[in-house]
Amino acid sequence: MQSPAQSKTRLPMPSICTTSGLDPLRRHSRLFPLLAAAALASACARVPELEDRLTPDLRGAAYPALVPLEDALHPGTSAAEESKALEDTLEARAARLQARADRLRAAQP
């Protein structure tokens, strides 16, 4: 039997800590249908609406040709070959422009 002094020092236990209620899984299982309905409703929404932004000529355009993955990842020419070709092209153009400038200077009185 408890004395009156012991019963006054005992604090009341909050209802969250009691084990007599539903277990946590059952408490949270009531939220599942609500969350499932919210997920299904949001999946039906048209968020970006990209179809409305397409012009009529884009809607009727053909799909681009597919390229093999090897060709897309490894181009035919290397960067060194491309830079050498660009350098040769620019040097030839510079030589042509220099020759044209010389001809124009010679033609002026």
From first to last of its 109 residues, the chain has per-residue pLDDT tens of 555 555 556 666 555 555 555 566 677 777 888 888 888 888 777 666 666 777 888 888 999 889 888 877 876 778 888 899 999 999 999 999 999 999 999 998 7
* pLDDT at residue 104, as a whole number: 94
* pLDDT at residue 1, as a whole number: 52
* pLDDT at residue 108, as a whole number: 83
85 contact partners, CB below 8 Å, separation of at least 6: 77
Alpha-carbon distance of 59 to 75, in angstroms, equals 31
| Six-digit token string for 2 | 């408890």
Q: Locate tokens 């030589």: which residue?
A: 95
* pLDDT at residue 19, as a whole number: 53
